[in-house]
Structure 1
Amino acid sequence: MRTLTAALVPSVSLLILSVRLSVSVCVDGDSDTEAVLGNPMKLTCISCMKREDIKAETRVFWSYIQDGEEISIFEYDNGPRELESPLKGRLQWRGSKDLQDLSLGITNITRNDSGTYQCVVFRLFEFDSFTPSVTITRIIKLEVKDKASLDPTALYSEIMMYVLLVFLTLWLLVEMVYCYRKISKSDEMAQDAVTDYLAVPSDKDPSGPAASE
């Protein structure tokens, strides 16, 4: 019985892990606020469902605010649709199938793309007796630059990589010297042992006492 239990525990654990990995996990995150001139950019808008077993009708409205003027640029209502705006032709729907990630992509960033972007998520939940709704708004203030800003995390990681390489190189040299000295010492000990052995007179040595008699 114990053997059967011990065999089943790993299998059950593996099954639970596989089920957990197969379920999509939604994590709220902020969008990048810097774009590089001429490069593509993703405006991240994530609105996680607290309970994935509840059905909800989801609609998304993207707008662009510049100089106090709000311009509708994109919407998702039973499917993505690009609206008439100065950004038309450069917008791409980057959302997920479960409509928890509602992000929008912009290709070929220009200086005029700087400004405030607004992602409004409207959800209408379906219950038996009532249909509550919720509206969530995400604000992204985008700044367009000629070159990407230096990422402190990337710089720190690069410095640590070089430090690690130098440390490993020095450690390897120390190990090589240690092994060389150890081998040399072993050779010297072996040579001394052979010399001492040859220096000891043998009982059958003709030059010994027996031979002199």
Structure 2
Amino acid sequence: MSAVQELLLLLPLALLALQASLCHGACVEVDSDTEAVANEGFKLGCISCKRRGEVPATASVRWFFKASDETVFSPIYNYEDLAAEITDSRFYDRLDWNGSKHTKDLQDGSIYILNVTYNDTGTYQCIFFRTLLYPNYDFPSNTSRTINITVVPQLTRGMASILSEVMMYVSIIGLQFWLVVEMIYCYRKISAAGEEALRESAAEYLAIASESKDNCAGVQVAE
């Protein structure tokens, strides 16, 4: 493989790596945040990825809540057939759908709490009721997520969060540095190959010219 071909292969990879943040990846089950700030909004994350991505499905999501001083869960929110329903008076006008849009094949069942209060501290449960639609039969399945939420006056960041953010930036910088080094290496390799090709062409030209001169001299002697 020539140096030019290697560079052409590396360029798309470099562009993809630099623009990875703009791409839409596959479904990833990310855990929800667990610390909400009073009087602000908060996203209750709940993601359940479909294991058979090629199989069509329908799903509904139900949310339940158990306050810190309660012993049983109470239904607070339902989302089914693209319609939402708040079922607990404590959350009237304070819950909004923040999950998958314009589809019944739900994989993100997150909701958003408006104007968080200290009474929202407790345990939340999110349950996916999914039905996989095979040609000859339907296969129902349930998936649940449990989230313990604490309401605080202001947001605090744990050491793990800080370290993960630092590592993310270090990884991005390291990747970009590696790409720059690869580009420089390929450029030098192409330049060296070009100079070598020029030297070979020049040597070949001189050889042809010398051979032509010898042939001409031979013809003159023969005459």
Once the two structures are TM-superposed, the CA of residue 148 in structure 1 deviates from its matched residue by: 1.4
Residue equivalent to 2:200: none
Alignment deviations for residues 52-76 of structure 1 (CA, whole Å, 9 cap, x no partner): 2211110111111120232211111
Return 5+ residue gaps in structure 1 as ranges. Answer: 161-213
CA distance in 2, matches of 1:26, 1:135: 17
Residue equivalent to 1:207: none
Residue equivalent to 2:220: none
Q: TM-score, normalised to structure 2's length? A: 0.59
Sort the Cα spacing of 1:79 and 1:158 in 2 relative to 1 into closer, same or farther, 3 A.
Answer: closer
Matched residue count: 154
CA RMSD after TM alignment: 3.3
Sort the Cα spacing of 1:154 and 1:125 in 2 relative to 1 into closer, same or farther, 3 A.
Answer: closer
Indicate the percent of aligned positions where both proteins have the same amino acid. Answer: 36
SS of the aligned residue for 2:58 comes to strand
* Larger fraction in helix: 2
Q: Does 1:143 align with 2:150?
A: yes
8 Å contact kept, 1:116–1:142: yes
**Which amino acid is 2:31 matched to?**
D
Residue equivalent to 1:36: 37
CA distance in 2, matches of 1:30, 1:111: 22
CA distance in 2, matches of 1:159, 1:129: 50
Query: Which is greater in Rg?
Result: 1
Return 5+ residue gaps in structure 2 as ranges. Answer: 168-223
Alignment deviations for residues 85-132 of structure 1 (CA, whole Å, 9 cap, x no partner): 111101011102352111011011101101111100011111122211
Sort the Cα spacing of 1:129 and 1:140 in 2 relative to 1 into closer, same or farther, 3 A.
Answer: same
Alignment deviations for residues 138-175 of structure 1 (CA, whole Å, 9 cap, x no partner): 00111111121233256569999xxxxxxxxxxxxxxx
Q: TM-score, normalised to structure 1's length? A: 0.61
8 Å contact kept, 1:41–1:105: yes
Residue equivalent to 1:74: 77
**Which amino acid is 1:118 matched to?**
Q
